[in-house]
Chains A and B, each alone.
Chain A
Amino acid sequence: MKTKRSGNYTWRKIKSALASAIAFISAVLVIAPLGLVFFHLVVNGASSLNWDFFTKLPAPVGAVGGGMANAIVGSLELLALAGAIGIPIGVLGGVYLAEYGSARINSVLRFLADVLNGVPSITWGVVVYGMVVLRFKGFSTYAGGLALGLIMIPLILRTTEEVILLVPNGYREAALALGVSRWKTIVHIVMKTASKGIITGILLALARVGGETAPLLFTAFGNRFWNHSLSQPIAALPLQIFTYAISPYDDWHRQAWAGALVLVTGVFCVNILVRILTRGHTASVV
C-alpha cells in the first residue's frame, strides 16, 4: 500500500485551506453589516436619546428638542391593528394547510402564499390606497393597519403550517384514539404542542412589519401630532425616520438616528424573546 505523501496531497491541503478561508470570510461578511449598523446607530443616535424623545411630540422646525412619542405609540397602534387582522387569518390558514385540504388545493395555496411573501411591500400600500384610502377619502390608521396586516398573513400562514407539520402524528392519533373530536384535537393537542413555534412566527412577522415604511407612505401617511381617531392619519416610527432623514436639518437627522436606534433595538428585543421562547423549559417538540 502506498502511504507516501504525493504532490497531490499537498495540493488537496491547499484547496481545503482555501475553501475554509472563503467560508470564514463569507461568515464574517454576513455578520459585519449588523455590527456596522448597530455601531453607527449608537454613535449617531444615542446622544439624542433622552426622556423627551419618548414622551414629547416632534418640535416645530427650528425649535430644539422634541421627541417621537406619537410615532412610537402610533407604531404600536398600527401593529395591534395589523395583528388583529394578520394573526387570526394567518394562523387559521396555516392550520387549514397543515391539517385539512386536499394535496392539490394545498400546493396551490402554498404557492400563492409564497408569491404573496415575495410581493414588494410598497405594492401592499398601493393596493390598500386603492381599496381604502380612495374609497373613504382620507389616509387613516385603519388603512395603515390593514396594509401591515395583509403583509403578515402569508408570513404567519407559512410558519404556522410548518410548525404544525412538525408535530408528530402520534399525538394526533393518541388524541383521536381517546374519542376526541378532530377540531378539539387540533386546538388542544396539535396547536398547543406547536404553540411556541406559532408564537415565534407571529413575533417575527410583527418585527418584520414593525419596520415597514413603504406600505405606510400612502395609507397611515404620518402625523406630527397625537392621533385621536383611527380614521385619521397616524405617525409611525419608520415613517418619522424617513421624513426626518430626508429633511435638510441636522437636528432632525440626529432624531432620525435615534428613532432608528429605538426601532432596531425593538426588533432586536423581539428576536431575543423568540430565542428564549424557542429554547424553552418544558419538553416540547417544536
Chain B
Amino acid sequence: MDHLVMETPERTVMERMEQGTAPPPEAETPAACTFEVKNLSIWYGEKRAIDNVTLGVASNAVTAIIGPSGCGKSTFLRALNRMHELTPRTRMEGTVLLNGDDLYSSTTDPAIVRRRVGMIFQKSNPFPTMTIGENVVIGLRLNGVRNQKFLNERLEKSLRMAALWDEVKDDLHKPGTSLSGGQQQRLCIARALAVEPEVILMDEPCSALDPIATAKIEELIHELKAKYTIVTVTHNMQQAGRISDYTAFMYLGRLIEFGPTTKIFTNPTEKQTEDYITGRFG
C-alpha cells in the first residue's frame, strides 16, 4: 500500500514555494500512447463543452483528469468511448485514435468501441435483477457467448482481477445489490473486465465510497495498470496524486496543462493549474 502514502500535493507545492526550488524536469509526453486525441471539440446543442483538446494517453499507466465541476472532464472521458453520444444534440470535431483506429470513422460501430473501452461510473450500478455471477458475465452473454465453461472461467478470472473473488465466491447466486457500496463498485469493475477491454475509463469511481473502500479501489487501480490503460476523472486532488502517472488539468472545456503527475503537482507551468491544486479556486 506504499503508493497510498505519497505526499499530499498541497504540501509539495507549498514546500516548493517556500524553498524556491523546482524539481528536475521530466519527460513531458508519454512514450507509447493508447489514445491519441487531436483537436477534440464537443458541443451540447450550442454549448461548447470541450474546446480543442489534444493529448496522448499513455499505455499501461493511469491518467487522471482533474478540474472544477463543469470543466468538461466527464465529457472528455465519455468521448473516449462515445458514451457522450447518448446525450441528444451532441456534435464533435477532431479525431480520437485508439491504438491507431479512428473511433469516430463512419464505419465504426459505437458498440464495438465500447467493447474495447470499458467504463466505471461514479455510482456503482450492478443490475438489480441479476445475481453477482450474472452481473459479471452479462456483457459476454449479451454479446453472444453461450459456452458455460468459458463463462465460468471468465467469471472467476474477472472477480479475481477485481479483488472480489475471495469475498463473494460462496455468494455468486445472491443479488448483486446485496453487496456493500465498495464491493458493488468492484463488482462493476469485474463486469467491465469480463469483456476484456483494452482501456478502462473511470468517472469518479470512489466519490460515493468511504475511505477504506476508496483505498481498496485505488489499490486495485494500481494493480490493473499492469494490464490495462486507465483514464480516471477525479475531484479529489490527493487521489489524483496517489494513483496517477499523468495528470491533465482542464478548465472551462480547455486543456490547461498535461504532464507527469509529479510535475503537475510540484512544478506546474500554468498559474491556473497551481491555483487550482493549491485550492485557491474550484
Contact = CB atoms under 8 A, between A and B. Distances in A.
A246 to B, nearest CB: 49
A179 B82 CA distance: 11
Contact of A180 (B86, B123, B143, B178): B143
Nearest to B130: A192
Contacts of B123: 170
Nearest to A286: B128
B128 A193 contact: yes
B143 A170 contact: no
B129 interface: yes
A170 B121 contact: yes
A244 to B, nearest CB: 46
B121 A174 contact: yes
A247 B241 CA distance: 87
A187 B208 CA distance: 29
A177 B142 CA distance: 12
B142 A180 contact: yes
A177 B118 contact: yes
A192 B142 CA distance: 13
Contacts of B142: 175, 178, 180, 184-185, 188
A283 B174 CA distance: 10
B127 A179 contact: no
Contacts of A181: 111
Contacts of B81: 177
Main secondary structure of the interface of B (DSSP, over half): helix
Contact of B139 (A168, A180, A195, A283): A180
A130 to B, nearest CB: 41
Nearest to A194: B129
Interface string B212-245: 0000000000000000000000000000000000
Nearest to B124: A170
A140 to B, nearest CB: 41
A189 B83 contact: no
A168 B143 CA distance: 22
Given A177-B114, A179-B195, A171 B125 contact: yes
A283 B119 contact: no
B115 interface: yes
Given A180-B111, A184-B142, A173 B86 contact: yes
Contacts of B115: 178-179
A266 to B, nearest CB: 29
Pairs of residues from A and B, 4 with the lowest C-beta to C-beta distance, nearest first: A179-B115, A178-B139, A177-B119, A170-B125
8 contacts: A170-B121, A175-B127, A178-B191, A179-B112, A179-B114, A181-B111, A193-B128, A284-B128
Interface of A: 168, 170-181, 184-185, 188-189, 192-193, 195, 282-285
